[in-house]
Structures are given as C-alpha cells and as structure tokens.
Amino acid sequence: MIDELDRLKREGLHRTLTESSPADGEGWIVRDGRRMLNLASNHYLGLDHRLDETVLDRWRKEGGGDAEPERTIRTGSTASRLVVGGDPAVGRLERDFAAFKGTEACLVFGSGYMANVGIVSALVGRNDIVFSDRLNHASIVDGAVLSRAELVRYRHRDMDHLEALLRKADPSKRKLIVTDAVFSMDGSLAPLAALVELKERYGAMLMVDEAHSGGVFGDRGEGLARACGLTDRIDVHMGTFSKAYGCCGGYAAGDAVLVDYLVNKARSLIYTTAPPPMVVHAIRDQWSTAVAEGWRRERLLRTAAQLRSELREAGFDTGESECHIVPVIVGASDKTLAFGRRLQEEGIAAVPIRPPTVPEGTARIRLTPMATHREDDLREAVAVIRRIGVELGVIGA
C-alpha cells in the first residue's frame, strides 16, 4: 500500500479528503477555514436545504399512513426490505416517482452507485455482452465487471462504432447498451434517439443513467429521455436523488417486470439495509420543490450557457459541453493541480479532475454553476479563472 501511495504522489494522482460546510450567501461554502464560491457541487438546483420544524411537522403527518400521525421520524430501517418490509413512505415514493417518470414501476436504492451496480449485474451474466460508452460513470463499469459479462466499450457518442460492434456480436447473446444521459465530466449529452434505433435494430436492451440530467431536463425535470420523447422506448431508466434533488439515493424505473426482476436479482438491494424513512421524506420534499419551482431549471441552464460562452471567448477549451457541467480542459495533471490550488487561493472551490477519472492528457477543472448563484459572483469567478489561465499558460494573454 505504501509503495502504491508513493507512486500516486509522484505522478500527481494522490487524493485526500477535505471538509466543507455551508457559508452565508447562496452558493458559498467554508472549506479549509476559508469562505469560497462553490463551483464544485452537484446540487445543481441549489436545493441543499437545511431541515426546520415546518418540514419535520409535515413529515410527521405524512409518515403515519393510515395510522395516527407519527410523533417522530425514524432514522433507521432495521434491515433489508426483503427481511422486515419497507417503510410505507418508500412505497409511496416509488409509486409517485414512477408516475412522474412515465413508467409502470420504480425501485429505490441506497445510492446511485448501488443502483448501477445492482441493475447491470442483475440484467446480464457470463454469457452476455455490455456495450458501454467509454466515458460512462465508473459505477456502470463496475456493474459490468461484477456481472462477468463481456464488457465492450465504444468510442464516446460514436454511433458508427457502436453499430459495428453490435453487428459483430454473437446474435444469440443477450446485449445491454448502457449510457449516461449527461456525461458528468464533459457536460455532453447522449444521442438517445440514435441509441434507441440501434437497440431496436439489433435486439438489445437500453439502459440510460439520468444521474446528472434528472431534475434539469424535461418540462418538470423528468430527465433527458422525457425531453426527447423517448421514455417508452428505453428499457431501464436509472437516476439519483443526490444531484439536482440535493439529497441521496438512487432508483431504477421501467416496466413492472423489470422492477420485479430487480427485487429478486439486484444484490445491492437484497443484501443491504433499506433507506431510512427520514431520507425518503427528504427525497420527496426536495423532488416536490424542484418540480414546483421550474425557475431553477431555467436559470441553471441559462447561467451555465453564459459561463461556458465567457470561458470560450477567453480562449479556454470547454470540450463538448452543452449543459450545466462546464469543464476547463487543461491537459497535464500537474498543471491542472496547480490551477486548482490557485483557484482555492483566490476563493473558488473547483476541483481538478485527473486520470483515471478522465482519459490521459485531458485533466480538467470541472465547473458546475447552481441555479442560485449570483451573476456578479460568477462574473468575478470568470475574471479570476481567466487571470490564472494566463498565469499558467493555459490561454494567451
């Protein structure tokens, strides 16, 4: 372990944990004792609310089901849902969220990672093939590895490459195509219409991970699949409650047979404790707020477009970004780390992203504005980023 840690440090790949807490002002945090503008959060809609007595009173009334209102909200679920049963709040959330997504059923997991690992490893096995976009999230890759299926990675958003791989595949094998809807390190969007056509042409299943698109795209934040009018043609809808919804947990949505199958086969659901009722109530509260306050989605996308435009005008490479995730691609890991350190010195929290999270030679600063950021704060942040970019030779003067 020591040798491996030493290697990571030499190559500029060593990671450490830090602590942060909310600060006064929307979109600000305190990290390492300093007040900083938070451009590293996945809480895109600015919904990381603190609990108050009004919220807790509402939860108590909702939590009783057909019985009298609960005096308290339970913090734990005691065991797996298949052992003691789930809290009524979980079932209500699953039914209502399925209706929201436009699917027959929904299943809640403890996290997005657990959802992806459980879904993929349940749907395919040793004699099957998983076709995964090369930039998919690590949890998708881990699920494929655990399934023991053959993992075939196609070039990012390259439908010609994917079709060539599908054409070569053994037609007798079960085929699962998996893609992020929004790619978390690039801010690029999956070509869902083309993926649907290919999966139908070659008899494959299609799974779409809406972790970074849920709450942001669609008339009410249903996700990119709904925004593209493709909900009914996608086999597995996966997503999280930890990004735009500002809480935690993951889900799978689809037809009733899919959810029944996952209840019986998804090990990350079967062999773990059910989500606590307190968390389930928080998910519903955050989701309801996101649906009701559509201005958050509109402002987020407008703010991100302005940020991306100003950075490109300054000469930065923002890759294929076309949504609320805006990378500043630096290239070398050491220079990217230096960029991140200078940003922190200037009061901006924006994390350097290095291999193996992104391909070699594409290390970057990942910027994620929130719907609640002030325009003046973002304008000042762009000026700081531009100044540091010139200082480090990332852009010209």
What pLDDT shows up at residue 49?
Answer: 65
CA atoms within 13 A on the CB side of 255: 6
Residue-wise pLDDT for 151-204, tens only, equals: 999 999 999 999 999 999 999 999 999 999 999 999 999 999 999 999 999 999
* Percent of all residues in the chain with a pLDDT value above 90, rounded to a whole number: 78
CA 254, CA 28: separation in Å to the nearest integer? 37
Distances (CA, A) of 67 to 142, 233, 337, 392: 42, 40, 56, 64
Stretch 256-273: mean pLDDT: 97
CA 163, CA 97: separation in Å to the nearest integer? 33
Closest to 208 in 3D by CA, of 171, 233, 187, 241 = 233
pTM beyond 0.75, yes or no: yes
CA atoms within 13 A on the CB side of 87: 24
CA 384, CA 97: separation in Å to the nearest integer? 41
Range with the largest mean pLDDT of 13-17, 64-68, 239-243? 239-243
* Amino acid symbol at 89: A
Two structure tokens written together for 37:
């503008």
The answer to whether the peptide bond before residue 88 is cis (omega within 30 degrees of 0) is no
What pLDDT shows up at residue 69?
Answer: 46
Domains and CATH numbers, the chain: 1-38+294-392 (3.90.1150.10), 54-292 (3.40.640.10)
What pLDDT shows up at residue 74?
Answer: 72
Sign of the CA dihedral with 354 first, then 237, 240, and 150 last? negative
Band of pLDDT at residue 23, cut at 50, 70 and 90: confident
